[in-house]
Amino acid sequence: MISSEKPYNLGKINLSISITVGLVGLLISCVFTCLFYSSTEDQKKTLNFLTTILETSAGVTSAFYIGQNIRLNAESKKLDRTTSYISRWNDTAFDSARRAAYQIHEMLDGRRINEHSIIIQEALDNDLDLKLGVLDALNFLEEMSLCVSLGIIDEKTTYQFYRSIVQAYCTTFNLWIIKLRNDKENPTLFKSFTDLCEKWKNGN
């Protein structure tokens, strides 16, 4: 299942901790300023020493929160990209591609495995719209699979939504993809897609 987090909260970073730290720092600065002007020379030396320590600590703290915010922002953007891929697959504009793939699946129902690649190729050769729809679906899944392998989108979330889709499309088109690679003499055609299918086959 997709996270129930509301879409408009994606990409939002909680800055309350940073703001609190800033306010505390401002308060401490005011206190030290007042103490400095009301203290003796010896006390001023002690205050200078403490101020130096606090400045160093503040620098380290600031670096920590900056790094944390960068990490949170990167994770949020990654999740945004992931939900975008899910939305694109569900978009009505993608209906023709899904319908074409389903039509091929129906053609193969009850047919022998060794006939699949021939049946698919003949169907695609005789129907340009069907061919374009199938290629749109496979190209999209290849793109999505490549993004998973490169860590551009979140694999855990993608797996929850796409695993059954990847397995179904791979089962339907695997033999035809192998034939296409041989015909084109290009073993990398749809490789990210088939690699991801193999990886996810056993729930990995």
Measured distance CA(56)–CA(77) in Å, rounded: 32
Residues 99 and 55 grouped into a single domain: no
Residues 95 and 59 grouped into a single domain: no
Percent of the chain beyond pLDDT 70? 63
Domain presence at residue 86: no
Q: Which residue has the tokens 């206190």?
A: 31
Residues 44 and 106 grouped into a single domain: no
**Full domain range(s) for residue 131:** 91-200
Measured distance CA(138)–CA(120) in Å, rounded: 14
Domain presence at residue 2: no
Which stretches within 41-115 are classed as H helix? 41-90, 95-108
Residues 37 and 96 grouped into a single domain: no
Residues 68 and 163 grouped into a single domain: no
Could you give the angle at the alpha carbon of 142 between the alpha carbons of 117 and 132, nearest 5°?
60
Query: Residue 43: what pLDDT?
Result: 61
Q: Look at 167 and 70; give whichever has higher pLDDT.
A: 167
Span 62-84, average pLDDT: 68
**b/e sequence 118-155, b meaning 16+ C-beta within 10 Å:** ebbeebbeeeeebbebbebbbebbbebbbbbeeeebbb
What does the mean pLDDT of the chain come to? Answer: 78
Domain presence at residue 8: no
Give the CA count within 13 Å in the CB-facing half-sphere of 65: 15
Q: Is 112 exposed, middle or buried (0-12, 13-18, 19+ CB in 10 A)?
A: exposed
Residues 116 and 26 grouped into a single domain: no
Residues 67 and 99 grouped into a single domain: no
The residue from 55, 77, 99 where one domain ends is 77
Residues 29 and 118 grouped into a single domain: no
Residues 159 and 182 grouped into a single domain: yes
Domain presence at residue 84: no
The residue from 77, 105, 131 where one domain ends is 77
Query: Residue 73: what pLDDT?
Result: 63
Domain presence at residue 4: no
Residue 82 vs residues 10, 57, 121, 157, 161: alpha-carbon distances, Å: 11, 38, 32, 7, 10
Domain presence at residue 137: yes
0.75 exceeded by the pTM?
Answer: no
Compute how many other C-beta atoms are within 10 angstroms of the C-beta atom of residue 71: 10
Residues 96 and 160 grouped into a single domain: yes
What total number of domains does the chain contain?
A: 2
Residues 105 and 67 grouped into a single domain: no
Confidence of residue 17 (pLDDT cuts 50, 70, 90): very low
Residues 107 and 39 grouped into a single domain: no
pLDDT tens-place string over residues 96-128: 999 999 999 999 998 999 899 999 999 999 999
